Structure 1
Amino acid sequence: MSEMIHLSSAVRQNLLSLQSTADLMSKTQNRLATGLKVNSALDNPNSFFTASSLNNRASDLSGLLDDMGQNVQTLKAADEGIQSITKLVEAAKGKANQALQSSSTADRRKFASEYNDLLGQIEDLAKDAGYSGKNLLGGGTANDLSVVFNEDGTSKLSVSAVNYTDTSSALGLSDLTVGTAGTVATTETALMAGKEGTTDKLEIKVGGVLKGTLDYGSDASASDIVAGINAISGITATTDGTNVSITSEDGQISIDDTVTTSSDLGTIASTDFTAGSFDTDTSIDTSIKSLTAALSTLRSQASTFGTNMTVVENRQNFTTKLVNTLEEGAGKLILADSNKEGANLLALQTRQQLSSTSLSFASQADQNVLRLFG
């Protein structure tokens, strides 16, 4: 049986005070080291679990913030794409207006070819307007955007993609038929072989309509005839001294002499003429109307994407502030006040010193008994 050591009341009281102070110092030092006044559920169950819930929600929302930021970039890429496409459509409209102001079919066909090039650039630009695997100008449900705003997914924004990779579908802008000139190919020999006397003439028709009549003349040469044909408005004739090419931008062209004999030139007609979409004012006006409608569509879609971007950015800012509010609320429940805890530690150290001194005094009182036996 072990023997018990009996302490005087004064010593025991001072010892208990020292133990209590040491325990408080340990807790205070832990708070200063961790920065938390509630480190576990044992410290304060209500504060600990409430703070954990707030921090968990803040963490979930922080994850959504990253997605919102990426979705904003996707919307920006689409908006920048639309702005660039709008400029290209305006350029195409400029080409149509240039064609309308020109009376040259050849120039109009050049403008039609440049118009088609611009439509190709629009489609290529739309294909390149994606961001991180999403292209709101590429069409298809796979490119639709869904922006989630809260942790359970009940608050979200859906953005539907449009398809500008095919200008004919969403914008109503189809490639134009550039057109092909009607061309007659013959030789100087064949051209002059049809001459029958001084009264024979050469007729040039375009689209079945007589455009000009040339008198062969008694001393007209092949080069004279070619020059005469070339002087007719809307017709181009060239020769290299052997072969003759006669071209009309306005329709199928044919040549024939007026005197019919066994050595008659015979009708020579082109078969390669194709009318162009910009050949007539009416067709150009139709294209300009389509371009105006396309610009209206683009501006409306740009407004829609702009509204969507504003919504996402607002929710992004709100979520950032909400995360800060949640973390601040959790901190008020579990974070330690370093200034207060530092002051507490200093006070406890002072108390510990005083308790040690008091214990020493109490021990000295007991030691005085020994002096009786000295």
Structure 2
Amino acid sequence: MDYRTAGVDVVAGREFVERIRSSVEATRRPEVVGGLGGFGGLCRLPAGLRDPLLVSGTDGVGTKLELAQAYGRHHDVGIDLVAMCVNDVITSGAEPLFFLDYIATGKLSPEAMAEVVEGIADGCRQSGCALLGGETAEMPGFYAPGRYDLAGFCVAVVEASALIDGRAVSPGDRILAVASSGVHSNGFSLVRRILESQAVDELTTLPHSNQNLIDALLAPTRLYGTLVKALLASEVPINGMAHITGGGLPENLPRCLPTGVQGVIDPTSWQRPALFHWLQQAGEVPEADLWNTFNLGVGYCLVVPAAAADQALAICQDTGYEAWELGAVANGSAGAQPLAGLPFSA
């Protein structure tokens, strides 16, 4: 017996590392020390910071992986992995520094795994952070051949005096919504159950549309780092930010609001994308469950003073992000829900 007959191909692993080397190197930042292959990744803090705070986040892609692997969409779940971490840490106003990935698989498929890492590197390039390192583990007998799972970890940095933590939010502030690219990477346990109940294949399109259903569901999570960087560079005052992930608006928007205030949203301020209409109708999903599971077209929220709302919206448009005024911040009373205006009973 040897390691290869036990299910782990060391030679294929080395070939995989060589294939991804150029993609990883393309994400390099000036602060990175050394290259790929060490036991630990090295990264300095950016110069000029007086009181730096490190902001970290970790996440995965959830059961979207099941659908992505079934249809061979490996590159885009790499982007998803980065987005789920980076979109969280930038809500504090932090700049992403580096990213680490962990891939566990039953049997290494160099082609599929390389596509995943190339997608991760693509997401890192879009976010301006270095892919500092990672780990790929072959675990035959634990994962089925051809199956894999992903986890990611991101570290960002922000000057303590520039930290955005919601404490500056006050009544009268405007809540701005920034469009999602689709379902992103949350709610896929429900998505897959809906698909199982329908006669869906690779050619299925959304009703009254030429958009392919599987393409729409597997569209990679939108990265918002470029937008946040542009807003901060323009010195638009941002009092709070929220990444709309699992739990939708009802769970995530209140996370950037301080005690004593209430977010009041207007659910008629945008047109819900056709994909979410299809999911609701095909799965007979109650309205409350829909709001508490999916982003419904809102991927990110900004809370800004009323006087800065128009400027912030203009910057969103200039940087290629669809955005609109979703609602406003009001005084909250004891025992009141942190989010009002929802079209169902909380």
Normalised-by-shorter TM-score class: under 0.3
Give TM-score, length-normalised by structure 1.
0.16
If each structure's strand is expressed as a fraction of its own residues, which one has the higher value?
Answer: 2
Give TM-score, length-normalised by structure 2.
0.16
If each structure's helix is expressed as a fraction of its own residues, which one has the higher value?
Answer: 1
Greater relative CO, 1 or 2 (CA 8 Å, sep 6+): 1
> Who wins on radius of gyration, i.e. which is larger?
1
